[in-house]
Structure 1
């Protein structure tokens, strides 16, 4: 039997962290390397810039824009594999369920961040208690990829921003997490 890659005993207490780390780092690294060779020049420049920001913990915000079919989802996939291959947590979310299905481990932003649906307003925050295991997982996130973010009402990302700043005790945008 192969030996475990992680110390699951230490991480089993928080199932949310375990769920986000439930990827084979070796397989993720192999997929990342394979995808990196297929990036075009624009994708490669974006990939390297974003990976440098995550690696150096520069806490930057990136907006990737282009018409359908230009390879945005492929870029997101390469980023996910690279970060997960390093044993770090990356959250892939989208504004719609269809778009979320295209991202490995993807979920809707409302589901992942518990954004209020009925009562969303300019002062909203997400329903995540600060001392919860879910908040502990969010404190370990290194990258958020939010596909089709422009399709959501501006109050949704603003609510996530306020929530992450509070949960992470960090007044930088999105609590200091690099966001694409």
Structure 2
């Protein structure tokens, strides 16, 4: 049975290619990520907290306060594509935009204080009402290994990373 390898499949390359294609046509693309490190890898990337004024301390009453007539509201309205890396970390209510939700849905989960497994699953993007409108595309070729000869140590490391991602390594308590 073939297994998918998620690390190194070229998500960042794909985001940069999509952005460049639209930039070349004069379109606006917003690139955001849930962490600063991932945002740094994106063309003109911001953290989602900074770009959309998402409160850092969320409650059930939290929401983003972006006025439609503000500069940010105007930017969002004129945006052709929103690329959101590490997207599985948040629940969503978005504008009428084309959005690329990226990330490894097996590795990145929403953070729910004192949440049980079912609370985390319920808060995930896959459980959102938006999921009915999502077309899922999967990248399955590890671009770091594509077309090169790999030694046994490299293949072993890649398999180990994959096994961690699907939960085949360690005990349940780990």
- TM-score by length of structure 1 reads 0.50
How far 1:125 moved relative to its partner?
A: 2.0
* Secondary structure in 2 matching 1:86: coil
When the two chains are superposed, the root-mean-square deviation of aligned CA atoms in Å is 1.7
1:178 to 68, 73, 98: 98
Match of 2:77 in 1: 139
| Greater than 4 Å deviation, 4+ residue runs | none
Match of 2:18 in 1: 79
Aligned in 2, Cα 1:116/1:70: closer, same or farther, shift over 3 Å?
A: same
How far 1:178 moved relative to its partner?
A: 0.4
CA contact (8 A) 1:66 1:72 kept: no
- 2:20 and 2:86 map into 1 onto residues whose CA distance is 20
CA contact (8 A) 1:143 1:177 kept: yes
- TM-score by length of structure 2 reads 0.52
5+ long unaligned stretches in structure 2: 101-174
Aligned residues: 97
- 2:98 and 2:5 map into 1 onto residues whose CA distance is 20
Aligned in 2, Cα 1:92/1:66: closer, same or farther, shift over 3 Å?
A: farther
How far 1:137 moved relative to its partner?
A: 1.1
How far 1:66 moved relative to its partner?
A: 6.1
Aligned in 2, Cα 1:177/1:66: closer, same or farther, shift over 3 Å?
A: farther
5+ long unaligned stretches in structure 1: 1-64, 162-173
* Larger gyration radius, structure 1 or structure 2: 2
- 1:95 and 1:114 map into 2 onto residues whose CA distance is 12
CA contact (8 A) 1:116 1:127 kept: no
